[in-house]
Amino acid sequence: MIHLALQDLRHDRLTFGFSVLGLGILVFAFLLLIPLSLAVTRLGEAGGLPQNLILVEQNVLQPELSRVPPGLAGSVSAILGERLERLDPVIFRILRVEDHPIQLRGVAPEAWTTTFQLQLVEGTWSSAASEIVIGQLAAQGGGWRTGSEINIYGRPFRVAGIADGPGTKTQTIWMSYAAARALFGDDQGAQLLVAHLRPSADPLASRQDLEDGLRSIGAPFDAYFEDALLRQYGAALNDLRLLSLVTASIAFVAVTLGAHNLAWLAAEERQRMLGVLRAIGFDRRDVARYLALRAGMITVSAYLLALAAAVVFIRLGLSAETFTVGGTQTDLSLSPGMAVLGLLLACAASLAGTWLSVSRVLTASPSGLLGRGPGATFA
């Protein structure tokens, strides 16, 4: 039956090619949408520092739109009291720097190693207002090294060093609060206030006290743990994730329907041939095996084509497997597990489609397949 299916496909190359292409496009969509959905999920699951409380204006989804008034720091210090280790205003921007989406954080350099736990990978910490430190991902994304000069918001800055830290992987540039303030002006002030708690402080109780205290003075600010803020930001992407999953499911159903249509067409076109096979001694299982093998070969060929296209697209089409939303970077990758899952699902869809379409042919008698009836010839 393998030989028969192979010969069948070999001598009908045009149909075979179009079938593979048609199914391949659907499988390609499926193979891309699942990693996209997982990547979006990871955006919302990025880790954070539980000892850091971030104050951001209420009802503001994107941190860069928040604004911290000058008097807020004093109120927070008063509420948290001894539990507070450091309190730093942060100028936060998402902007394109030399065509790369970047999170820029302007915060006092003393907080870099304490509050944000940055560690130098190479170079030095910045010592002048015109110097910056960049994150590893920013260095990779922008191709910048220590000593590079970067134009930010119309001003040149020198990369003093490259640093890495825990938490969400973002393409980040760090500069001093003073430098950021000088760069962007005083109009928008700081966007965030980051309260770094002492290790002995209970983060949950501190947060509760802070929110209660801010509410009591009518300050319209929410306090998040850093990861919670990211989660909230990530939650905004849930619709996208859901959409990806729904589209992936549609692609899966489309593969099933595509396989169904191909198998149905193949069975209808080959009724007489199948009738001949039955007449000369092949049973229903043989015929089912032939049709399943034929559909399977088309599906596997379509899958391999789609897999190759997906790998090429991810590697070449989306800049070295990274996927960036609002300066937050996550991997868009097709793991071997996902690839195998895609193959299994494609084969399952194909078999299900084949089974649905050929059941009538399989239950028909040989004479029915040969078009037998009164007045018909044995032809």
Binding site for another protein (CB under 8 A): 3-4, 7-8, 10-12, 272-273, 275-284, 286, 365-367, 370, 372-379
Q: Which residues contact 178 (CB under 8 A, 6 or more apart)?
A: 129
- Taking the least distance from each CB to another protein, the nearer of 215 and 284 is 284
Q: Which residues contact 252 (CB under 8 A, 6 or more apart)?
A: 30, 345, 349
Element (H, E) at 211: helix 203-216
At residue 368, the 3 state secondary structure works out as helix
Least distance from another protein to the Cβ atom of residue 364, Å: 11
d(CA 323, CA 331): 6
Least distance from another protein to the Cβ atom of residue 259, Å: 21
Least distance from another protein to the Cβ atom of residue 281, Å: 3
Least distance from another protein to the Cβ atom of residue 23, Å: 21
- Taking the least distance from each CB to another protein, the nearer of 216 and 365 is 365
- Beta-sheet pairing, 149-152 with 131-135: unpaired
Contact yes or no for 108/88 (Cβ under 8 A):
yes
- Taking the least distance from each CB to another protein, the nearer of 267 and 306 is 267
Least distance from another protein to the Cβ atom of residue 254, Å: 29
- Taking the least distance from each CB to another protein, the nearer of 241 and 294 is 294
Element (H, E) at 216: helix 203-216
Least distance from another protein to the Cβ atom of residue 282, Å: 5
- Taking the least distance from each CB to another protein, the nearer of 179 and 297 is 297
- Taking the least distance from each CB to another protein, the nearer of 10 and 96 is 10
Secondary structure of 166-215 in HEC code, one letter for each residue: CCCCECEEEECHHHHHHHHCCCCCECEEEEEECCCCCHHHHHHHHHHHHH
- Taking the least distance from each CB to another protein, the nearer of 20 and 332 is 20
Least distance from another protein to the Cβ atom of residue 19, Å: 16
Contact yes or no for 277/48 (Cβ under 8 A):
no
Q: How far is CA 105 from CA 77, 131, 152, 171, 197, in A?
A: 22, 13, 12, 11, 20
